Amino acid sequence: MDEGRPSPRVLALSLVGLAIFLSCQALALRSYLRADSRPPTLESAANLQAALDWHAALAEGWGVLNPAAPGPRTVVALPFYPMLLGRACGGADLAGTGLWLNWFYLALLSLAVFGLAWHFRPDETALLSVIILVGSPALQELFHTQTVDLALTALVAAGYWALLRSDEFRKWPASLVFGAIFAVGMLHGWSFATYFLPVLYMGILALSRSNSRLKILVAVAGALAGAWPWYAARLPVLLARLLQAPGISVSTLWQDWAILSYFGPMVNGLGAPFFALALVGLCVPQFRRNWHRGWVLVAWFVSSYVLWSLAPTPQLRYLIPCLPALVVAGLGAWPRGLVWVLALTQLLVMVNFSSGAISPITIPWPTGRAVLFPSQPPARQDWHLADILRQAQVRRDPQRPFINVTLVANDERFNRSNFELTARWLGIKDVRLVPPGGRLCEFSQFVVFKDGWLDPARMIGQMPEAAKIIKDPNSWFSAAYEEAGRWPLSDDSTAVLYQQRRFMAPPVRGGVYHYQFYSSGQFEATDLVIEFGGWDAQRLVYRWGKVSAAEVRAGGLRLVGLQVELEDLLFQPLYEHGSNTWGDARVLKLGKLRIKSLRADRDSVRAFLEGKIPGLRISGVELDKTAKLRGRMGGLQFSSEVAARIEVLPPALCIEIVNVQLGESRLPDFFLAPFRTFLRPLTPMTETPFAIEAPGLTLSGGWLSIP
């Protein structure tokens, strides 16, 4: 049902209104940044680290964009967003600087939504659709975080706008623009393609028409030319991740009513009035113009909703890129007056979200609770991340090249990523943050513990057990560590910095300790002999130690004939309850580990690899000069040949992929080039903060042996 030609006057006034709205958003962002001093959220901190990696890499030249070149460590396959974020931050020490990049994505999203709405209803409701969508709490939250979701939403909306403007690939300019947007979107996130399932149907129809066949082929070629080189060069990593993903099926939609799992988050994220009106309008859509193309919007939202309902952990962020379809199609069914009322309501919600003038109102319902007037205003908070890092740096042992700090916390604004980001901005390079492991804080000079309540859903690894040990005054931790600093945090909890005590006397008498069978956690040994001595009263360590065992099992790996020598050793013994006998220990310091001999057979290597790589099943292993592996990864059959050796200068374990075959096809050498060689330094690292020496490594007769 066409309503005649659009009014140029209404279009001009609407564009002026759009410019004013975006200007207000920029002013609001500036005010937010001036008022907020909190560290970024956990995911934002990780993205900022990737951005700073890219900023440093690009400073050395654009060669880093070569698909054959190894990218920054925090980026696997998606370079565009962290590259732009790094440019926006410019290496500055203020996380909020990167939020200005969000304003440009918000402007692109607003323009695309305006164009989509005007395409179907050329009146002032096109501008109101932008205000209603951008004013929702979900979009405002993304506006204040350094995540890729807002960028994906903007690019998806722009892609559909170009798609509609192309008249189903009948017009050259819009078809080419769609191909370019698709390439850029795929370089922002692989999930970009999941929002374009309706395009598959449109593409099939376009291929059947002579006046659109060439246009869609060129658009597809442009998209592939832009995105495929990066993905192809990193396809092994992407395939491994894909094969390790949990299996899904259509039946998942009906398990525990997963198909409805987004309703509660959408009510809270969009606002109850917006959600209700848009959902009803989507069910009975009405399009003033181009009504025969309206199915694209419905298909865009419905296909995305169904697909992401299959996600193992549904999150509203997965649906945000399809919300432009909901606002355009859903509100098109309602009269202008009602859309005006909704737009004014969303403006109120938007202002309150950043100001918190109206307290949230919670309404319980059977499947959860609805929150009216949610708010996340800026706050002046000091989480003392810099103070803790500076204290650790001042107190660090100068004999060590760097120190490990075990962090027993994973709060939204008090986590490892935030500490690492703060350390980079402070220029602190000799402090490394590590999570607590099964043995809590081995090799760590410091431990940071966030006391007080912490959401158990946020706890990872061994944190609950670690917190219990730290707070126990009779534990081995209290004997090995002492408090070095304490800071009150903004959530009424306390951060405590613990430091290793100075052992003025050896913790136990040196000598020889023999164990016929020894077990600690996943570590088991038979005929274990431990010998150490030569206490150094100045450096407060044992000068030497020796360990040998007939057989050792650790992490699925079985070793025989183990003989190692230790230098500069310090440990805290763990005494058996109610006795003076110690049967376990936590290593606090170690200068060097010298491997004299060890052997591992093919079955041990197979079990070790299967335990380390989820989904890997190895059917055959041959160890003879090289390691030849056969098996399945997920549902994919493979065979590979790998060589291993010990490099001398610099000391490192070198693993080189000779060839890989998937099914009956061998992967070409250029495909393996970025991943062919892996070097694991034997110099001190965060995971092993001590030097490792080995006389050599051989693969022969079904055994991996040193020397």
Q: What kind and span of H or E run contains 496? A: strand 494-500
Q: What is the pLDDT of residues 195-249, one digit of tens each?
A: 999 999 999 999 999 999 999 999 999 999 998 888 877 776 666 666 555 555 5
Helices (H), 245-322: 263-270, 272-283, 295-309
Domain boundary among 462, 497, 532: 497
List of residues 6+ apart from 162 with CB closer than 8 A:
174, 175, 177, 178, 181
248 falls within a domain: no
Q: What is the pLDDT of residues 433-485, one digit of tens each?
A: 999 987 889 999 999 999 875 554 455 556 788 888 999 998 999 999 999 99
Q: Both 483 and 592 in a single domain?
A: no
Is residue 76 over pLDDT 50?
Answer: no
Q: What is the pLDDT of residues 319-339, one digit of tens each?
A: 999 999 999 999 988 999 999
Number of domains making up the chain: 3
Q: Both 603 and 533 in a single domain?
A: yes
- Neighbouring C-beta atoms of residue 594, cutoff 10 Å: 15
Domain boundary among 497, 519, 542: 497
Q: What confidence tier does 315 reach under pLDDT thresholds 50, 70, 90?
A: confident
Q: Both 338 and 392 in a single domain?
A: no
Q: For residue 383, is it left (φ>0), alpha (ψ between -120 and 50) or beta?
A: alpha
305 falls within a domain: yes
Which residue has better confidence, 608 or 253? 608
Q: What confidence tier does 62 reach under pLDDT thresholds 50, 70, 90?
A: low
Full domain range(s) for residue 294: 56-237+262-355
**Beta pairing partners, 362:** 371
- What integer best gives the mean pLDDT of the chain? 87
**Spatial distance between the Cα atoms of 105 and 150, rounded to a whole number of angstroms:** 7
**Spatial distance between the Cα atoms of 170 and 109, rounded to a whole number of angstroms:** 24
Helix (H, G, I), strand (E, B) or coil at 475: coil
Mean pLDDT, range 129-145, rounded to an integer: 95
Encoding tokens for residue 581?
Answer: 């006998």
**Spatial distance between the Cα atoms of 463 and 410, rounded to a whole number of angstroms:** 9
Q: Both 520 and 426 in a single domain?
A: no
Q: Both 490 and 520 in a single domain?
A: no
Encoding tokens for residue 635?
Answer: 């549902």
Q: What confidence tier does 255 reach under pLDDT thresholds 50, 70, 90?
A: low
Q: Both 554 and 447 in a single domain?
A: no
Is residue 68 over pLDDT 70?
Answer: no
Mean pLDDT, range 361-378, rounded to an integer: 81
Q: Both 553 and 576 in a single domain?
A: yes
94 falls within a domain: yes
What's the confidence (pLDDT) of residue 96? 65
The whole-angstrom distance between residue 338's C-alpha and the CA centroid of its chain comes to 41
Q: Both 286 and 165 in a single domain?
A: yes
Q: What confidence tier does 395 reach under pLDDT thresholds 50, 70, 90?
A: very high
Instruction: Output the CA torsion sign for 77, 111, 143, 389.
Output: positive
425 falls within a domain: yes
Q: Both 230 and 101 in a single domain?
A: yes
Is residue 75 over pLDDT 50?
Answer: no
Global pTM?
0.86
Q: Both 216 and 310 in a single domain?
A: yes
Encoding tokens for residue 75?
Answer: 């980026």
632 falls within a domain: yes
Task: Report percent pLDDT > 70 for the chain.
Answer: 89
575 falls within a domain: yes
Helix (H, G, I), strand (E, B) or coil at 13: helix
Half-sphere exposure of 369 (CA within 13 A, CB side): 8
257 falls within a domain: no
254 falls within a domain: no
Strand 431-434 relative to strand 403-408: parallel, antiparallel, unpaired?
Answer: parallel
**Spatial distance between the Cα atoms of 529 and 546, rounded to a whole number of angstroms:** 8
Mean pLDDT, range 568-579, rounded to an integer: 83
Is residue 2 over pLDDT 50?
Answer: no
Helices (H), 60-210: 80-89, 99-120, 125-134, 137-143, 149-165, 172-186, 197-207
Domain boundary among 338, 355, 372: 355
Cα–Cα–Cα angle for 241, 242, 247, rounded to 5 degrees: 120
**Spatial distance between the Cα atoms of 305 and 436, rounded to a whole number of angstroms:** 38
Q: Both 680 and 540 in a single domain?
A: yes
Q: What is the pLDDT of residues 341-352, one digit of tens each?
A: 999 999 999 999
Q: What kind and span of H or E run contains 416? A: helix 416-426
Task: Calculate helix-pair angle for 125-134, 336-355, nearest 10 degrees.
Answer: 30
Q: Both 141 and 227 in a single domain?
A: yes
**Spatial distance between the Cα atoms of 595 and 691, rounded to a whole number of angstroms:** 11
Task: Tell me if 434 sits within 8 A of 444, measured CB to CB.
Answer: yes
Query: Scanning the structure block, which residue is given the tokens 């150490």?
Result: 532
